[in-house]
Amino acid sequence: MDGPQSLAVQRFPGCRGNQCARAVGYAAMGGPSWGSPPGRVRESRGEQTSCGVWGGGCADSRREGLRRPNHLLQVAMAAVDSFYLLYREIARSCNCYMEALALVGAWYTARKSITVICDFYSLVRLHFIPRLGSRPDLIKQYGRWAVVSGATDGIGKAYAEELAGHGLNIILVSQEEEKLQAVAKHIADTYRVETVVMVADFSKGREIYAPIREALKDRDIGILVNDVGAFYPYPQYFTQVPEDTLWDIVNVNIAAASLMIHIVLPGMVERKKGAIVTVSSGSCCKPTPQLAAFSASKAYLDHFSRALQYEYASKGIFVQSLIPFYVTSSVTAPSSFLHRCPWLAPSPRVYAQHAVSTLGISKRTTGYWSHSIQFLFAQYMPEWLWVWGANLLNRSLRKEPLSCQA
């Protein structure tokens, strides 16, 4: 084909748009055909290009470069869509499990809510409602005589006075005869009841219990209060505690309560009535550093009393584990924060009034409303938090005795 006709009909492979027109026009003017080697074409027309025949390859490369970002964006969007579809499939397949977890969460929340409500009700029932009504007749309910060990000071003395206020005759047991006589006289004169004094040093071990057994043999013992106890002079690390103090803790805190119960319990079982109160300590709730041996001995009393309650409740015997927290005493420093917070650490008299009102109602109680709140916190808090608080409190309590020694 020659001349203008070639411009109208000739098509060359690899050409697009204006490039084809340029190629056809060049062939019509006598240029080389498409079959000519590219090198000769470049030489004859003086056009230098590295992109294939007549620059067609360069245009393709540029178009490919423009399309590449769009292609990557499409791939990314496809990946997002695929992940979303995968997520929806997983969510659809796990829907039943999510409903089950929601039910478990609702059950746990309801259970905890009911527990808190029951604890609050127990707090009100134990420490407020009994004080609104008439006082119970403890003589009719348990018997005429009460034995109180460790009755010369603190909770033991206040508890003996409170029982005397209910009309019970009191047998006071302690190692200090002079103090015993003074307390016995005060109770007899104030409450018009009979009092008996028994001198016994529980740290001496087994030899002291035979005289006690003989003295109590013919008595109608209705209530036994085990309050005798040995304590550190102040919070101490275990290696700093004297060996004699450790033996006192074993003999007085553990052996005394066990053997006193062993003496009076057979008579209670025979009469099918009676109450045993064992005074433990709030330090038995969790391991308490700087009071290691003491808190362990009080934990024994708590478990021992609870076990006895299960053994003898069917025989008419009420066994109570009393778990007081801090109570002010004659040895508490007046500048101590315990004296500045009477609601947190009540006096022995106030504590005993509340504790006696729980007798026959709760087999395990702190005896005082603020102590019950402390006990609830102790139950639910993690052990590391209890240990941190105990260390902080005990360090403050030992600071003043150590400064006095210095």
Neighbours of 305 (CB within 10 A): 24
13: left (phi over 0), alpha (psi -120 to 50) or beta: beta
278 vs 260: CA distance, rounded Å? 11
Q: Looking at the predicted structure, is the pLDDT value of residue 66 above 60?
A: no
Mean pLDDT over 18-43 rounds to 43
Mean pLDDT over 27-48 rounds to 42
Mean pLDDT over 267-291 rounds to 93
Structure token pair of residue 119: 């604890």
pTM: 0.71
Q: What is the pLDDT of residues 89-124, one digit of tens each?
A: 777 777 777 777 888 889 989 988 898 888 888 888
138 vs 245: CA distance, rounded Å? 36
335 vs 17: CA distance, rounded Å? 103
Q: Looking at the predicted structure, is the pLDDT value of residue 194 above 90?
A: yes
Q: What is the pLDDT of residues 141-166, one digit of tens each?
A: 999 999 999 988 899 999 999 999 99
Q: What is the pLDDT of residue 37?
A: 45
Q: What is the pLDDT of residue 26?
A: 42
Q: What is the pLDDT of residue 30?
A: 44
Q: Looking at the predicted structure, is the pLDDT value of residue 69 above 80?
A: no
- Computed over every residue of the chain, the mean pLDDT equals 80
Residues in contact with 272: Cβ distance below 8 Å, sequence separation at least 6, in sequence order = 315, 316
Q: Looking at the predicted structure, is the pLDDT value of residue 306 above 90?
A: yes
Residue 61: which pLDDT band, with cuts at 50, 70 and 90?
low
Mean pLDDT over 269-292 rounds to 93
Q: What is the pLDDT of residues 327-376, one digit of tens each?
A: 887 555 444 555 566 668 888 999 999 999 999 999 999 999 989 998 98
Q: Which residues, in sequence order, are bridge partners of residue 322?
A: 279, 365
Mean pLDDT over 201-230 rounds to 91
Q: Looking at the predicted structure, is the pLDDT value of residue 308 above 90?
A: yes
Q: Looking at the predicted structure, is the pLDDT value of residue 312 above 70?
A: yes
Is residue 86 within 8 A of residue 80, CB to CB? The reply is no
Distance, CA of 293 to chain centre = 22
Q: What is the pLDDT of residue 339?
A: 57
Q: Which residue has the higher pLDDT, 222 or 99?
A: 222
DSSP state letter for 31: P
* Residue corresponding to tokens 């009755």: 151
315 vs 272: CA distance, rounded Å? 6
